[in-house]
C-alpha cells in the first residue's frame, strides 16, 4: 500500500511539473514595442548656416522627419 501511495504521489508530481513546464515554454511571443511616431504633420526644413539654401516643406511623422534629417543634414521644425 505504501508503494502505491508513493507511485501515486510520483505520478501527480510528474504531471504537475509537466503541465507547469508546458505552460512556461509555450507562452505567446510579443514583438518589441514600436516608437510612437504620432500623426503626419508638415515641417519646414532648412540647412543650418545656409541662409541662401531653399526651405523645403516636408510632410511626415516625427519618425519620418528624423530619418529625413539624418539623410539630408537639414533641420526641421513644425510648419
Give me the residue spans of the domains in the chain: 41-78
Average pLDDT over residues 45-68: 94
Q: What is the pLDDT of residues 39-51, one digit of tens each?
A: 999 999 999 999 9
Tell me which of 49 and 36 has the higher pLDDT.
Answer: 49
| pTM recorded for the entire structure | 0.56
DSSP-H helix ranges across 1-79: 2-25, 62-72
- Please state, in angstroms and rounded to a whole number, the distance separating the CA atoms of residues 58 and 39: 14
SS3 content of the chain, % helix, strand, coil (to 5): 45, 20, 35
- Least confident window among 11-15, 32-36, 58-62: 11-15
30 pLDDT band, cuts 50/70/90, is confident
Amino acid at each position: 500500500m505504501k508503494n502505491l501511495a508513493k507511485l501515486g504521489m510520483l505520478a501527480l508530481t510528474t504531471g504537475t511539473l509537466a503541465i507547469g513546464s508546458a505552460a512556461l515554454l509555450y507562452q505567446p511571443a510579443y514583438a518589441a514595442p514600436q516608437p510612437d511616431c504620432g500623426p503626419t504633420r508638415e515641417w519646414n526644413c532648412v540647412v543650418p548656416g545656409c541662409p541662401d539654401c531653399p526651405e523645403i516643406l516636408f510632410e511626415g511623422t516625427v519618425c519620418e522627419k528624423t530619418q529625413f534629417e539624418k539623410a539630408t543634414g537639414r533641420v526641421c521644425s513644425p510648419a
